[in-house]
Amino acid sequence: MAWCIEQAEQRTAPIGKAGSTASGAASRPMEQLEDGGRQSGVGGGERWRLKVAGRRELRWRQEKTRLRGGKTKLSSAMQAGAAPTRNEWRPQRIRFRATFHEYTSVVYLFHPPATPKQAILETGLAKALGVYREWAGRLGMGNRAILLNDAGARLITATADVALSSVTLLEQTPELQSLCPNNNGHDDAEELLLIQITRFPCGSFAVSSTTSHLVADGHSVFRFIIDWGKATRGAAIDPVPVNDRMSIVAPRNPPRVEFEHRGVEFVRHGELRTNQMVSKDKVVVHRVHFTLEMLSKLKSHVPVLVGSSQPYTTLQCVVAHLWRCITKARGLSSDQATRLIIPVNGRRRMIHQRVPEEYAGNFVLWAQPTITAGELLGRPLWHTVELVSREVARIDDRYFRSFIDFASSEAVEDEGLLPITALEEAWDASNFVYVSNLKGIPTYDLDFGDGRPFFCTRCYPPMGGYVFIMPTLSRDGSMDVQVCLRSGAMEIFKDCCYSLRQPNAKL
């Protein structure tokens, strides 16, 4: 019998304790997840049931809670536990015009005994939302501002009837995605933050977050989740987030647009259309585990060029290698262009007006090296690495300031320009490769008081050309990469990706 998801009837009774252990349901040790393969399911085709407890509405009023039936919403408290005193609009200036209009999900998995009680998690979440009020607010003014009205975030509690070891964690299966609330990518949820806590009979539990990308980038989201752990442990949230979204992204007076942003961050309607026929093959996900030996071998084929101030990074070498292999697998003609999109965190790029690491909004732009498939595959690996490195370095303080000035001008609306992120569904047909890098983010610093997660991963509906770089369980410097491609191209990609003997040869 095939695996299936079966949504149990919603009920208002609280979920049971997670302490009972099913026979033979011991969680799989951490190191067994690194076997590079698929976790096996339960013998005999056991059905997966995810029972969602009655979704409760928790309103915060003068340090008291009131439980109601219906959807689960957890409103925020202020830092000291007092109720918010007033509503407030927090304009977003220009970031809403360029970032992704979607929800993203991450799931953390914990082994016992790291199973804090539900009430402790809820109290910690309320405290964290008091500091990060945006996550309990609502979008308004045409998605150009956040209303800090403490309307609440959604909190869902659920139980599973199989051990965590029965869930395939290294692939984007329906079972894994069921651990994340409303994980459909372009979600129209009213809430900006959705949390799901799922407990397993083996004593393990999962905590997942689904967050609006219009509120914050990945850097900010992970800081919030880690600070939720601090608040749950009773520790102070320090340093506190910086929420001054107006002055940090304020344009210069007079504005000075020094770079071309049309066709880069903003495009005209229809600009990404292509005559290429998109394969009807389904998009599949393949996990590549780059061991330290593979990374060392890859970097050994990328010499430091004369005049270069520093060697290329491991990330740049891996991204260049993946870009070449994906392009080869897609079978593009030599004159077709391919574009790599890689995020650049502006917090570390600004010089004249520093942006603190604690800034809690969006402050990411994208390096976008573009080249024809013939030149990309016909030249050695080091050429691609140098191209990636040069384009990433170009997104500096001057570029960010130029972008802010342009995006704040009337040209965007007068010319009917759209953010390139609004057309991401056309990226696959346009031969784009998008890289999301979480390796430098301290995802495993989350601790609710009884230990850190043993595994963290993204939950997402696969989209062709997407690449997700994740921290590894071993945290030894190796790298896990999830590559999304059409099924017909995946075998070619695998052959290319694992062939490191002659990375400088033509592909």
Active-site residue numbers?
Answer: 213, 447
DSSP 295-330: HHHHHHTSPPPTT-SSPPPHHHHHHHHHHHHHHHHH
Strands 432-437 and 337-345: parallel
Angstrom distance (rounded) from CA 74 to CA 121: 11
* Stated length of the chain: 507
Q: How many beta carbons lie within 10 A of that of residue 47, not counting itself?
A: 14
Q: How wide is the angle at C-alpha 179 spanned by C-alphas 424 and 56, nearest 5°?
A: 110
Residue 254, preceding peptide bond in cis (omega within 30° of 0): yes
Which two three-digit tokens encode residue 468? 């997700």
- Smallest CA-to-CA distance from 73 within 5, 160, 138 is with 138
Distance CA 81, CA 127 (A): 7
User: Are 102 and 185 in contact, with CB atoms under 8 Å apart?
Assistant: yes
The overall longest dimension of the chain from CA atoms, in Å, is 70
Judge contact between 150 and 75, C-beta under 8 A.
yes
- Three-class SS state of 471: coil
Please name every residue paired with 456 in a beta bridge, in sequence order, or none if there are none.
108
